[in-house]
Amino acid sequence: MNGKWWSALPPLPLPHEMQQWDKQAVELGILPEILMENAAAAAFRQLSALCPRLAGKQVWLLMGSGNNGGDAACLARYLLDAGACPHVFHTRPLEHYRNETAYHLRTALTCGVPFLPVAALTETPLPHPDILVDGLLGTGFSGQLRDDARRLVSFVNELSPRPLILSLDVPSGLDATSGLPCPEAVKADMTVSFAAAKPGLMLPWARPYTGECHVGPIAMPAKVREEGPCSFRLLDGHALTLLPAMTAASYKNTYGHILVMGGRPGMCGAGHLAARGALRSGAGLVTAAMPAAGEDQVRMGWPEIMTLPLGDPGNRDWPAQLPDDLRQRLHQCRALVIGPGMGRGEDSHAFLAALLKEPERPACVFDADALMLLAGDPALLARLRDRPRAAQQPACLAGARHAAPGR
């Protein structure tokens, strides 16, 4: 994929890349205290949208030892100004906090925010919280939770009645890269991730812990977001904006020809859906090739789907060699989709091997059964390296859980 395409997608920086973003922003002259202030403001906006009437609400904020703790202390000041009743529970002595976290801690104290040691959660009678803010651990967390942190995470998850839980940046205990609990994590109703979402937050198994995932802008300079390292991008609706607009003089051949190879008898639905998906994505022409017996099932009443049946009528297997008509069609197409409903039998394997021997084949998307065949035969997989490799770009995570652009 070219640089313009992937750079238009929302970034998903790894934890060490996010730290580099922060460092570069500071080098450009933005004080870290300002970034933290902006993070708290972004979290407050999302919390206000979810809970518009904050006045009188009891809010517990758990303040860890790092920057997430500073975000929580700063957010407590916003909540106090909104008429809520915040209490900040700190995990280390107040005099041990440093830098921008200490700055916002002092400011919140001066403004009247009450701070209590975390032991007070169980030792001091307090009104039950309506809202709990998780600011214990951030993106820098790795490994396994220590016993004291694990007890806090369990305490949060077991509160009854359950308050609304907001996690700052990443739910505590969740690995920001893998999206896995280590071994437990706060189960938030909403997570506000600052400047950009992190890869782990976008993975499906993280959803029970993140709840709704939003990105809170913190005025991270565009120069940093564009030039800073970022290993992953989110494949979402932003990609559609890069499709060229149709022109009055265009016609079907203007928009390319895709050849879908899949959908043997009994599994024709996969080939049909792949062909429909190719049409829906904007391809001008789509041909589906399949063993002849599956032709009608792959077309399934869609006249837009052209078909190329392989073998004699009634044939149910893939050919071991590429027929001349398939080879001709192969070189008329701009891209191939190989594998949906192909099957994993010996005939499928032989057909895929013959296809991968074909010189100058178009760009390929391997899916479903083709991936399984490639994974099971290193000799087939090695043939993918015969083509020149494209310039390496960041990986993409597919999904649509990204909310607002923005740390």
Indicate whether 257 and 227 sit together in one domain: no
Indicate whether 14 and 82 sit together in one domain: yes
Indicate whether 200 and 103 sit together in one domain: yes
38-63 core/surface letters (b: 16 or more CB in 10 A; e: else): bbbbbbbbbbeeebeebeebbbbbbb
Indicate whether 232 and 87 sit together in one domain: yes
Indicate whether 346 and 203 sit together in one domain: no
Query: Which of 327, 319, 311 has its CA nearest to residue 349?
Result: 319
> Which CATH number does the domain housing residue 318 bear?
3.40.1190.20
Indicate whether 273 and 134 sit together in one domain: no
Whether the full predicted model's pTM is greater than 0.85, yes or no, is no
> Which CATH number does the domain housing residue 164 bear?
3.40.50.10260
Indicate whether 144 and 16 sit together in one domain: yes
**Domain boundary, last residue among 210, 236, 262:** 236
Query: Which of 63, 66, 65 has its CA nearest to residue 32?
Result: 66
- The answer to whether residue 398 is domain-embedded is no
Q: Are 24 and 32 in contact (CB under 8 A)?
A: no
Measured distance CA(175)–CA(141) in Å, rounded: 7
3-state class (DSSP) for residue 304: coil
Indicate whether 201 and 58 sit together in one domain: yes
- The answer to whether residue 401 is domain-embedded is no
> In total, how many domains does the chain have?
2
pLDDT tens for the chain, 407 residues long, are 445 667 788 999 999 999 999 999 999 999 999 999 999 999 999 999 999 999 999 999 999 999 999 999 999 999 999 999 999 999 999 999 999 999 999 999 999 999 999 999 988 889 999 999 999 999 989 999 999 999 999 999 999 999 999 999 999 999 999 999 999 999 999 999 999 999 999 999 999 999 999 999 999 999 999 899 899 999 888 777 777 778 888 888 888 999 999 999 999 999 999 999 999 988 999 999 999 999 999 999 999 999 999 999 999 999 999 999 999 999 899 999 999 999 999 999 999 999 999 988 899 999 999 999 999 999 998 888 645 444 455 666 655 444 433 34
Please give the distance of CA 18 from its chain centroid, rounded to a whole number.
15
Query: Which of 37, 42, 45, 34 has its CA nearest to residue 73?
Result: 37
* Largest pairwise CA distance in the chain: 85
Measured distance CA(202)–CA(191) in Å, rounded: 11
Domain that holds residue 290: 243-376
Measured distance CA(102)–CA(99) in Å, rounded: 5
